[in-house]
Amino acid sequence: MKITFGLYAFVFFLGLARPAHGGSLDSGILKMFPRNIAEFGYANLEQANQFPWFAQLKLQSLPPRFEELEVFLGSLGMGPTSQIKEVAWALCSRDSQSENGGKSPRSETSENGIVGLVFGQFDTNAAEATLKSLNAQTVEIGDSTLFRCINCDDLFIVFLDSNTIAFGQGKSLELMMRARSGETDNLQQNSEMIPLINQMNDGSMFWGVLAPAGARQALHKLAPDAAQFPQADEFFTNVNGLAIRIRGLEEVWDSDEIEADVQFLSRSPGDSSNLSLLLNAALLLRKYRASQTGDDAAKILDTVRIAPLGNTLDISFSITNDQLMSLVEHNIFVSQSQ
């Protein structure tokens, strides 16, 4: 399974500045998402847009279709810096797609469809009037009207209320509408993903969760050297999920450093401990190479801490704003699938 969002790019030295308030999603919002997803993410754009480097970072780390959506919403008078405040998104798994029977807005949707919610303050009546005047394609799902985004290929939107817009590829957005109405299972019923989401959903500016397949792919990307060690495949296979949280703490901000946490969930404390040994060995190797080549990442690697905590392997590190800017300029966060 390919990861088509930039979530696993956060594994690479991502940090952001101090948030003004929390970025928590309540249970009612989570219930709008389909049960079977491959990854889930959240970003507080109102806070992040104040930083000059965020516009470039956003292209590398948020869903690759989100830029198209922002342009489209902007054409309706819903600007990304004035009205769009937050975004939550998910990648529906193949299992979710198979749940979605019947006629859908687009039958050629990719197997891992994008679906999400944009939060802010919107004049939905004016936006709907504009779309109707442009003869935008519409699809009725229950009591909801889905509008096809102009110049966004297969993306649709639906205005849920004056503060919430749902978006996604046809099949995935239809599935979201069915989950929202209770016709099919929702994310709160996903016993594998929801504990990780609840753990991260604590007020950070950016946070995200990957299901087992995506977590293992991110682990390979994070520590390619680790795969060379004996039993690496076994340890990697026992990874059951990944949670990422970007915090901007005031004491960190005052020292011009930002901290991030990456947590891999293993099947047992023993698996977590073994994975810790493996990644610490790979980290030592990476530090040595960086010291020999003068790699800019050497200073960041010195801050990395890897420690097992029960079934969880916690990886934390620090990064300065200047280091972050350098990484953004070198496109370090670009997903291989984009």
Which of the residue ranges 2-6, 115-119, 121-125 would you say has the lowest mean pLDDT?
Answer: 2-6
Q: Where are the alpha helices (DSSP H) in the chain?
A: 27-30, 45-48, 54-61, 66-75, 94-99, 124-133, 170-180, 194-200, 212-222, 232-237, 250-254, 269-293, 298-301, 321-329
Distance separating alpha carbons of residues 84 and 44, to the nearest angstrom: 9
Query: pLDDT tens for residues 212-247?
Result: 888 888 888 777 888 788 888 888 888 999 998 776
User: What backbone phi and psi angles, to 5 degrees, belong to 15?
Assistant: -150, 150
Between these two residues, 336 and 260, which has the higher pLDDT value? Answer: 260
- The answer on pLDDT for 102 being more than 50 is no
Distance separating alpha carbons of residues 128 and 294, to the nearest angstrom: 55
Mean pLDDT of 5-15: 40
- The answer on pLDDT for 248 being more than 60 is no
Distance separating alpha carbons of residues 29 and 42, to the nearest angstrom: 12
- The answer on pLDDT for 49 being more than 60 is yes
Provide the CA 250 distance to its chain's centre, in angstroms. Answer: 24
| pLDDT band at 301; cut points 50, 70, 90 | confident
Query: pLDDT tens for residues 64-80?
Result: 678 888 889 988 888 66
Q: Which of 110-124, 243-257, 276-290 has the highest mean pLDDT?
A: 276-290
Residue among 121, 120, 94, 122 nearest 109 (CA): 94
pTM of this structure: 0.80
- The answer on pLDDT for 21 being more than 90 is no
